[in-house]
Amino acid sequence: MQDYSIKSIRNEFKSKGVFYTPKELGEKLKSFVDVEYKNVYDPTCGRGYLLSVFGDDVVKYGQEVDEEALKEAKINLDNFIGEVGDTIKEDKFKDMKFDLIVANPPFSIKYEPTKELEEDERFKDLPCLAPASKADYMFIAHCLAKLKDSGQAIILNFPGILYRKAREYKIRKYLVDNNFIEKVIHIKGDTFIDTKIATCILVLKKQRTDNNVLFVDTENDLEYLATYEEVVQNDYTLSVSNYVIKEEEKEVVDPVELQKNAHEAFRNKIIKELEFTRMVCVLEGWDFKSYVMDILSLVHSFLD
């Protein structure tokens, strides 16, 4: 029997674009939902772990390239409609849009940009297709295209999408300029089983009342609401660390206590020096009293 343990999934199936998605990730993505929904869609649903956190009354839709994984999702999920196929190449829910989309697409996998994809309804408004070596923004654009105007998409991504240049820069700029990005959330490494690297979550909406972007650092429990103009000034970089800066804790210093401690330290140093000098004078037969009087004379000079 094939081993589908947490430890083995990524190593065995990474080259095929099949990834293990822990259930706790589904709970995390769900925690950012703030729209009403009757249905939820996962474009790379795997075995259905993201969808499993939603109640039986919610209609669940999913597409998955791995037929065996989809069979398992159909067994495990209630009120679920699943289709087999490569999501980028062929949208199996072509005539549908969804209230809510949750996704954990494979990070930076290769795909084949084609003329057909350039003309595809999902991608035709993009300034360009994503680079052939990194399909991340193809999945993001797919999610946006499948979203109802009143809906919300919550997508786990590799952080490189937030700052990489060239084609990805152009698509990122398009998303910001069209006010589709509501939140960018930093997730530290090891937050989820089998996800050692830091990740990020993009929250997308089509109809928004403002053009600000909320940056959330879950590692340090910090947030920053950036204006559209600030994002433009940052050359459309969306790295959370560019906006959320952790303030270093400053030590509160009491000047009276500081002077008191300095005085005590200075006094103790004088005592030790005098004790040492007296010991040397006794051993060498020197006049210790004369030495002390010289020190006293020096001290008195500061009183004048």
Given a contact cutoff of 8 angstroms between Cβ atoms, the answer to whether 111 and 138 are in contact is yes
Which whole number is the average pLDDT over 232-239?
96
pLDDT tens-digit series, residues 279-291: 878 877 888 888 8
**Exposed, middle or buried, 102 (CB in 10 Å: 0-12/13-18/19+)?**
buried
| This prediction's pTM | 0.75
Q: CA end-to-end span of the chain, whole Å? A: 96
Rg (CA), the chain: 32
Q: Mean pLDDT for the chain?
A: 87
The two tokens of residue 134 are 């990194």
- The CA–CA distances, whole Å, from 226 to 166, 241, 247, 249 equal 24, 12, 17, 23
- For β-strands 181-187 and 199-204, DSSP reports them as antiparallel
Indicate whether 195 pLDDT > 60. no
pLDDT tens-digit series, residues 172-186: 999 999 999 999 999
The larger pLDDT score, comparing residue 277 to residue 85, is at 85
Q: Which of 53, 24, 57 is nearest to 38 (CA)?
A: 57
- The CA–CA distances, whole Å, from 232 to 30, 127, 136, 161, 217 equal 29, 17, 22, 16, 20
